[in-house]
Amino acid sequence: MKRNAIVLLSGVVLLAAIGIGVGSAVSVASPPSISALWLGDSYSSGWGQPNSDNPCGQSPTAWPLVATKLLEGSDVNLTSSSFESCGGKRTWQVASEIPAHFSPVDLVGFTFGGDDVGFKDILESCIIGDTTPLVSDLLGELISPLLTAGLDAAAPDTCPSDAAVRADIADNLAGRTRGGYQGFLNQIAGQYVVWGGNILVLGYPALIEEESRWDDVDKGFGLCNGLSPQTAYLMRGWAGLLNQEIGEAVVQFNTESATTRHGVTATFVNVQDGGSSSDANPLLFDPAGTNVGHNLCGSNAWIASWRHISDGFHPTVPGTYAEGQLAAQAIEAMSWANLSSSPPVSGGSTPTAASNPPAGNSGNSQPSSGMGSVTLSQGPLYSGSEYWYDISLSGWSPGQSVSITCFDSVDPNGFRSFSATVDSSGSASIGNECRSGTGPDYWVSANGALSNTASWGSAAQTPPPTTTTTSPPPTTTTTTTPTSTPPPGGQPVSAYDNYGTANEPGHAVCRGNPSEASSMPGGVVTQTFVVPAGVANISSAKVQIDPDPTVTAALTVSDGSAMVSASSAAAGDTMFTFPALAVSAGDTVTLTINFSATYGKIITVYDTGDPGGSMTVSNQCPDGAPNFTSTTSGLRAVVYGTS
């Protein structure tokens, strides 16, 4: 990609300009040629660093580009790499970072997880006083603590409780929502990495230095950038837990069978302390055996001040260079001996992303020689128009572990992967792992073998419950969101279809949380559109709203003469199913979303495309979330109906 070549060249120039060497380890005659894909959030993109004034905050000094340059002439030769990291991205948005016409690579590297748990919003809620950043800007860090010394005493009251944040981190990363971080690693391994390849997961710094390592000025005032020791301790603990959960997910991923993880090995790099209280590596943010700390308020800080919240709490250039060195060292230590576009003949096979359902395959799949078969049928109703996948395996080796990926029309690259072990007859029936209503087509793969394509709706016959587990999935199972199945008689159509790549970082909306006065009243988002020809009614909608089960979005749909409504918890691809509203071509329809919550202050919606009509975001809460109006881009949403 031309863009990546330019960025890398700029990185070389900038690294040289700041005096950073770009040579590396001892070269070998024939180093392995490795292809790499760099994904991740703002901690991978180089947010806030030189030349990062672009929508994704990509900088030539981001750690992936530093690592790439350091590996030149080393034992590992990165012959091609694609830098797709983008600030604000969550694990469940990873598909939006993948380049068009993508082929699996040997190495995928990233930092992910902080935005999944809303870490930025959590940190913001613990920083008191909208004027504090301004005071810091005007008077500098030396005087600012004097003026803010009394403000932070109230910070623990504005922060969410320690227990609530820790529970949220565990819910998102340990697997109680969206399949957890381990499930995310399985997705990366199954769709984006070749058999025998590697995943590099960089952790996060602790952000704030432990009090004993604060510099003399901060120690003298007893504050870190105006934050009390109590608040600093909480934030540092949450960052530590985030690292711990990610590291444990990597360990668990590597304990899976080679077939389940597609022959891929994951490596976790703990940039904070190396995972040991005795690691004295000077490239770490908190190396052992020294009083020099590199987190915020440390005597040699590599973390930007929080005074500018959009850029704060991110590594500076020395920090990302240290991270790049750690990453390069980890990559050099990886094994590349078993790289293959397909699994060994004696083992299983790896699922491949399917851009379309298996055409014309209404019966059993035709797997490759030596493999069993997989079939899919409609399981019991879960909720609304969402049904369980009834998956049947047969003809496999007794006791074999089979890697399964579930697909539907909305997620043709797969939305959940898991493994199942067949019984002594080589068979298994799985009915409580995947569920969806976002058809019309549904299919699965088992060790790369594609099933038949199934279709279902509200009129479809539900199989007898005795053949399938009807209970909800374990709390570690990914929850998908339903799309309303059109009423019988019409063909499914979209009255408003605007779900292209979102414009980052989105639009802040007041949550309307009564326990957080600065979030009241809840914000209102509207979108108007003109009904196209061929649409007789509309009955459901999908809107991108950052996932948070404590936030309720109440949608009303009106054509000026009639109105219908529905509510849903914010869930990323947030689905609303409402009574069918009859419409005609040329009608102007208005979507209105009102927000309420039981936790936090701000939620985010997104715009994209140019669908016509008008989008507005209206906020009146004291938090200061801005208003927004546009007639050149529209709410990232789809409105479904029938002809």
DSSP readout, 56-81?
Answer: T---TTSHHHHHHHHTTTSSSEEEEE
With 0-12 / 13-18 / 19 or more C-beta atoms within 10 angstroms meaning exposed / middle / buried, residue 401 is: middle
Q: CA-CA distance, 284 to 373, in Å (whole number)?
A: 49
With 0-12 / 13-18 / 19 or more C-beta atoms within 10 angstroms meaning exposed / middle / buried, residue 495 is: buried
Amino acid at 521: P
Q: Which residues of the chain have pLDDT under 70?
A: 1-31, 95-97, 99-101, 128-158, 174-179, 306-311, 341-371, 382-384, 412-413, 448, 457-490
Q: Is 97 helix (H, G, I), strand (E, B) or coil?
A: helix
Q: Where in the chain is the domain with CATH 2.60.120?
A: 492-642
Looking at the DSSP assignment, which residues form a beta bridge with residue 110?
Answer: 201
pTM score: 0.52
Cis peptide bond N-terminal to 229, omega within 30: no
CB 550 within 8 A of CB 494: no
Domain 2-22+31-332 class, CATH top level: alpha beta
Pairing of strands 105-110, 193-202: parallel
Contacts of 322 (CB under 8 A, 6+ apart): 271, 283, 284, 285, 294, 302
Q: Identify the H or E element spanning 9.
A: helix 2-17
* Helix 317-332 × helix 63-70 angle, to 10°: 50
Predicted pLDDT of residue 290: 80
Where do the DSSP E strands lie in 422-470? 428-430, 435-436, 442-446, 449-450
Cα–Cα distance list, 355 to 102, 190, 410, 550 (Å):
11, 14, 10, 34
Looking at the DSSP assignment, which residues form a beta bridge with residue 198?
Answer: 107, 265
> What is the CATH code of the structural domain delimited by 373-467?
2.60.40
Q: Where in the chain is the domain with CATH 3.40.50.1110?
A: 2-22+31-332
CB 354 within 8 A of CB 361: no
pLDDT digits (tens, 9 = 90+) for 408-423: 877 766 777 777 888 8
pLDDT digits (tens, 9 = 90+) for 607-635: 999 999 999 999 998 877 789 999 999 99
Closest CA relative to residue 544, chosen from 637, 408, 639: 637
Angle at 173 between CA 163 and CA 568, to 5 degrees: 80
Predicted pLDDT of residue 323: 95
Using the CB atoms, write b or e for 182-211: b if 16+ within 10 Å: bbbbbbbbbbbbbbbbbbbbbbbbbbbbbe
Fold of 492-642: Jelly Rolls (2.60.120)
> How is the beta sheet containing 77-83 ordered, strand by strand?
77-83, 33-38, 105-110, 193-202, 265-269
Q: Where in the chain is the domain with CATH 2.60.40?
A: 373-467
